Structure 1
Amino acid sequence: MAKKEPLVNTSEFDIGDFVEAPAFANFEHSFKGIIEKIYEHALLVMITENDPVDDATVVEYNRRAITRMSETKILVKTENPAPRELPEEDVEEDVSSEEKN
């Protein structure tokens, strides 16, 4: 059974962050891109900047790569991150405190 993506983003990454990822597989150099999706321990990055030597690999990967969070470095944080959902426990506490007022 495939693992689902996490319900709550608890990482330092946000969709839209501009990041740098190290070379892996057929890549000879690191590349830069924008986070499109966040998984439990990985990121889907749309590649926007790469070394010309890696152009064929980038095209083969359809300009996207899955990178490990632990190896990916944030270069520029997005100014408009997607809202993070609160865990159900926190939502219940917020609702009960509003009802008391």
Structure 2
Amino acid sequence: MAKDPVENTSEFDLGDFVAGKKFANFEHDFKGIVEKIYEHSLLVVITENDPEDDATVNEYNHRAVLRMSDTKILVKTDNPAPRPEKEDDEKADKKADKKDAKGDKA
């Protein structure tokens, strides 16, 4: 069964360059690019790390899942994915209300 796509309501976008805090086997903080956005976390491709952490980065296949709360945006992407505007949602709700009102009169 396919799931509906989840709307991105976070401050992060695919392609953002971010800084991640050390965790697990990492001895130092690292930097990378957001590859996927989850509800409260990010999948980041590690692009810059301390040489002491090379073995860990290789073991993790150059990827890490980070909490959004522990991740800092260093450079926003120039080409973020489009997000639905709230005004469009409000307009759609008003149209639906008008249709319901017309249907009640008949």
TM-score computed with the length of structure 1 as normaliser: 0.81
More helix by share: 2
Distance 2:75 2:90 in 1: 30
The answer for the alignment partner of 1:70 in structure 2 is 69
Aligned CA distance change for structure 1 residues 14 and 22 (closer, same or farther; 3 Å) = same
Distance 1:82 1:94 in 2: 24
Distance 2:60 2:32 in 1: 13
Matches within 5 A, 1:1-101: 7-85=6-84, 90=89, 93=92, 96=95
TM-score computed with the length of structure 2 as normaliser: 0.77
Distance 1:8 1:86 in 2: 11
Higher relative contact order (Cα pairs below 8 Å, separated by 6+ residues): 1
How far does residue 83 in structure 1 lie from its aligned partner after superposition? Answer: 1.4
How far does residue 82 in structure 1 lie from its aligned partner after superposition? Answer: 1.2
Distance 2:4 2:44 in 1: 15
Q: Deviations over 1:22-70 (max 9, x none)?
A: 0000000000000000000000000000000000000000000000000
How far does residue 92 in structure 1 lie from its aligned partner after superposition? Answer: 6.2
> Which aligned segments of 4 or more residues in structure 1 are displaced greater than 6 angstroms?
none
In the alignment, structure 1 segments of 5+ residues that lack a partner are 97-101
Query: RMSD in angstroms over aligned alpha carbons?
Result: 2.5
In the alignment, structure 2 segments of 5+ residues that lack a partner are 96-106
Aligned CA distance change for structure 1 residues 70 and 56 (closer, same or farther; 3 Å) = same
| Equivalent pair of 1:5/1:39 in contact (CA under 8 Å) | no
Aligned CA distance change for structure 1 residues 45 and 34 (closer, same or farther; 3 Å) = same
